Amino acid sequence: MAGELNGKVALVTGASRGIGAAIARGYAERGALVVGAARSTDQLRELEATNPERISTATVDLRDAESLNSLVDLVVERHGRIDILVNNAGVAPAADFATEPIEQWRTTFEVNVIAPMTLAQAAGRYFIPQRSGKIINIASTTGIRGKPGLVGYSTSKGAVARFTEALAAEWARHNIQVNCIAPGAFATDAQSAVLESPDLLHRRVRRIPAKRMGDVSELVPLACLLAAPGSDFITGSIFVIDGGESGKL
């Protein structure tokens, strides 16, 4: 609904493309001021151009704790406050677990787990005194049910889900809501190998009761609900959006 986020300020990571870009645009369309953060400067410029009055951007290294803390401060410097944090950025390296190097696990956890925790802590320094704040973590259905070939990624996204639940319980007394969206198969750049192969796409879609992959726009309404005042009694929840795939026997 247009205007449901009027006056709100949001930080969205991984905003250069896919789910993050869709959420950033959706928030701006509903009245929020948005800072979209990612590594890709060129794609961030494209995002900013879609709504320059409401979307600004920042380049960030998610493995640098100092940069993450500075990023939250930057949002407040630009807009005077921060109300919403969307931890969307992530990496999903596919590998054979038997030979996957420990350095790759570290990178996966630094980006997928430590960065969201660091940003949440930094945002909390503003949320707690103002007694309001929304944190929306983007996990994955592979964090609920493990997937072969993605052991490190699945484990990291499982950690994101548990982080959501634990922080929600700890910060509920401050009127801060922490929730998680766990997408299934969505048509994004991360799925390019599947989308570009008719055989792989057929096999992937066959496992989804809805018989199609999701479009990133279909995540936006839920992300907006969880950012809006109407969700103040929703916290510690994990919302699966996967066309029914994880609900099958």
CB 123 within 8 A of CB 135: yes
Element (H, E) at 37: strand 33-38
Among candidate residues 116, 233, 237, 236, the one with its CA nearest the CA of residue 169: 236
Instruction: Write out the E strands in 96-211.
Output: 133-138, 176-183
Task: Count how many residues are written for the chain.
Answer: 249
Q: Give the up-direction half-sphere exposure of residue 11: CA atoms within 13 A in the CB hemisphere.
A: 36
Q: Please give the Cα distance from 226 to 238 (Å, whole number).
A: 11
Among candidate residues 70, 57, 8, the one with its CA nearest the CA of residue 33: 8
Question: Of the listed 105, 153, 163, 171, which one is catalytic?
Answer: 153
77 Rama sector, left if φ>0, alpha if ψ -120 to 50, beta otherwise: alpha
Radius of gyration of the chain (CA): 17
Sorted by sequence, the CB contacts under 8 Å of residue 195 that are 6+ apart come out as 187, 201, 213
Residue where the block lists tokens 């910060």: 171
27 included as an active-site residue: no
Q: 13 by DSSP, 3-state: which?
A: strand
Q: Which residues are catalytic?
A: 153
